[in-house]
Amino acid sequence: MSKKNRSGIIYSTNPDFDYQSDEQPETDTLPPAQQNLKIWLVKLGGNKVVTSIRGFIGASADLADLGKQLKTACGSGGSVKDDEILIQGDHRDKVLTWLTGKGYKAKKAGG
């Protein structure tokens, strides 16, 4: 275990000491057909528009991989944070077509 994750524990003289973490184990990634993804259009400060994909259930590494594939498919930048994928620009139609082509259950959400 990394030293960064040991909050407050510096050293223990107890030979039977076993550090218990409060972190929840990551959930297993559901297959694409069982994912229920929502595609939102979010307006940020100024005139910036971002396509947001929410509702992914699974490991953060799989979410990051999906985000990378979507950014490549759209030819745009973006990021993955707070359990959602953000893609710069209005790419809702492209994202919906790509996700349904890969077998994901996805639909547009919001106004």
List residues bridging with 10 in a β-sheet.
Answer: none
> How many Cβ atoms sit within 10 Å of the Cβ of residue 66?
22
The model's pTM = 0.75
Instruction: Dump pLDDT digits (tens) for 75-104.
Output: 999 999 999 999 999 999 999 999 999 999
Positive or negative, the CA dihedral 69, 70, 76, 79 is: negative
Quote the percentage of the chain above a pLDDT of 70.
Answer: 84
Q: Supply the mean pLDDT for the chain.
A: 87
Q: How confident is the model at residue 18 (pLDDT cuts 50, 70, 90)?
A: confident
34-111: CATH superfamily: SUI1-like domain (3.30.780.10)
Domain ranges of the chain: 34-111
Tell me if residue 106 falls in helix, strand or coil: strand
Amino acid at residue number 9 = I
Q: Which pLDDT score, from 0 to 100, does residue 1 have?
A: 47
